[in-house]
Chains A and B, each alone.
Chain A
Amino acid sequence: AQRVTQPEKLLSVFKGAPVELKCNYSYSGSPELFWYVQYSRQRLQLLLRHISRESIKGFTADLNKGETSFHLKKPFAQEEDSAMYYCALKDSGAGSYQLTFGKGTKLSVIP
């Protein structure tokens, strides 16, 4: 069974400090990993996916298959980054659609 673990329920950092939101996964196949974000009073939305290897709003995430991790990083946190962040996993195999979400980490950026 696939599982996503986000060990921190809450992460508080000062503005301008580096941020790392941890995500570990358990899956025997070839996974696709995603980060979703939910800002206050807004709906859940996709932040980035590992296959795109992109940087969104200054955030990056690298899939480390050896450590089964997909940590989200940003070098300098901004107040507008305060939100709930969810890591999610999907089987990349044909015909697979189910997203498995972690429990989420609440990021609070202190001015």
Chain B
Amino acid sequence: EAGVVQSPRYKIIEKKQPVAFWCNPISGHNTLYWYLQNLGQGPELLIRYENEEAVDDSQLPKDRFSAERLKGVDSTLKIQPAELGDSAVYLCASSPRDGPSSYNEQFFGPGTRLTVL
């Protein structure tokens, strides 16, 4: 089992350019998360999907960020246009379906390190 797969692992772009990150969750995991991790900080949730539905995108900056999970499996996070402050690590995680009184462990991918010049 490869775990959560993310690509690319590293990306360097100039400001104002678009960029996209891809995530393939663990097979069978209904829930997919995108996190942003700035240097020296813990991960912060951007968006959560249950299958193909974005059920929590309240912290996604919608003016420049977008995400999709069209078939409820893999997902893409896009930034257009990128700004200098977007330099960070973008983490994807997945978990089996959460129950109302249980916690299903979130499994993280290796992350994509974005550098905006």
Q: Is the CB of B48 within 8 A of A97?
A: yes
Q: How would you classify the secondary structure of chain B's contact residues: helix, strand, loop or mixed?
A: loop
Instruction: Tally chain A residues at the interface, Cβ within 8 Å.
Output: 22
Chain A-chain B contacts (Cβ-Cβ < 8 Å), number? 46
Instruction: Tally chain B residues at the interface, Cβ within 8 Å.
Output: 23
Q: Which residues of A contact B3 (CB under 8 A)?
A: 43
Q: Is the CB of A46 within 8 A of B106?
A: yes
A51 contacts partner chain B, Cβ-Cβ < 8 Å: yes
Given known contacts A90-B103, A97-B98, A44 and B45 CB-to-CB distance under 8 angstroms: no
Which listed residue, A4, A94, A99, touches B100 by the CB 8 Å rule? A94
A32 contacts partner chain B, Cβ-Cβ < 8 Å: yes
Give residues 1-39 of B contacting A (CB, 8 Å). Answer: 3-4, 31
Q: Is the CB of A97 within 8 A of B31?
A: yes
Q: Contacting chain B: which of A62-70, A71-79, A100-108?
A: A100-108
